[in-house]
Amino acid sequence: MKGGAVFRLEDELREGESVDGLVLLLRGDEDTGTKLLRQAARLAAAYTYRGVAARGVSLFAAASEDDDVVNAVLQAKLRTYETYRRITGERLARLASAVELLPTFKDPHWTALLPQIGEKEALATFLDILGPVRDNPVYEKPRRSRR
């Protein structure tokens, strides 16, 4: 179907998971807000959640605050980003009441659903809650492909 959501995000949920004990990680480059709004629009074009377009952004979860565990997830999922943001799952769930957190697709992926109304404001608040941008200790400059 052209232009409309065709899949249900409910079908991509992992059962029995909670944010308890997790550290959620999000890319943190300077234009994160703009890029995340584009990502939310792409998700909404492909998925619905509870019958409406699923406007959300991707996060990745580390199973603990241990630096080795966090760095392993950064290495696997965010190594090409110079900076990132992090917050415990419990804190994010408590502070970001307008954002619904869902364990989606393959572990360690999570989706933070943004509200249908006031999305830009919710994203700005969400980024504020995530706290300061941090240097990524496992950053690897993306390689350019040769032709």
Distance CA 54, CA 46 (A): 8
Pick from 118, 114, 120: nearest CA to 99: 114
Q: Residue 147 has what pLDDT?
A: 60
Q: Residue 127 has what pLDDT?
A: 82
Distance CA 133, CA 128 (A): 10
Q: Residue 67 has what pLDDT?
A: 95
Is the pLDDT at 138 greater than 90, yes or no? yes
Q: What does the pLDDT look like over 71-121, one tens digit per residue? A: 999 999 999 999 999 999 888 888 777 788 999 999 999 999 988 777 788
Residue 133 falls in which region: left (phi positive, over 0), alpha (psi -120 to 50) or beta: beta
Domain ranges of the chain: 29-135
pTM of the model: 0.86
